[in-house]
């Protein structure tokens, strides 16, 4: 399944990498693609992950989750 996380606070390539690493490290995430321009992360999940887990991973990396779809 796919999810899109809308994220505030990413400003550069370093931020992009930090979010990709944080999300990619989660069990169940098979692919992460972060777009700085669109301020979002597109995820491909191989199992259903709770939105709270995704939100927490982004926030621990230092960024704000606006919405998860």
**Is 11 near Cu ion (CB under 5 A)?**
yes
Task: Select from 3-11, 19-27, 41-49, 61-69 the region that touches Cu ion (CB under 5 A).
Answer: 3-11
List the structure tokens of 7: 């994220």
Residues 14, 37, 60, 69: which binds Cu ion (CB under 5 A)?
14
Per the listing, tokens 């809308």 go with: 6
**Is 4 near Cu ion (CB under 5 A)?**
no
Per the listing, tokens 């899109």 go with: 4
Residues 3, 4, 9, 15: which binds Cu ion (CB under 5 A)?
15
Q: How far is CA 55 from CA 1, 17, 23, 45, in A?
A: 17, 16, 9, 15
Q: Which residues bind Cu ion (CB under 5 A)?
A: 11-12, 14-15
């Amino acid at each position: 399944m796919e999810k899109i996380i809308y994220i505030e606070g990413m400003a550069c390539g370093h931020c992009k990498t930090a979010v990709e690493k944080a999300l990619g490290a989660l069990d169940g995430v098979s692919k992460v693609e972060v777009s700085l321009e669109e301020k979002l992360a597109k995820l491909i999940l191989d199992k259903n992950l709770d939105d709270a887990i995704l939100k927490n991973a982004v926030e621990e990396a230092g960024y704000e989750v606006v919405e998860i779809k």
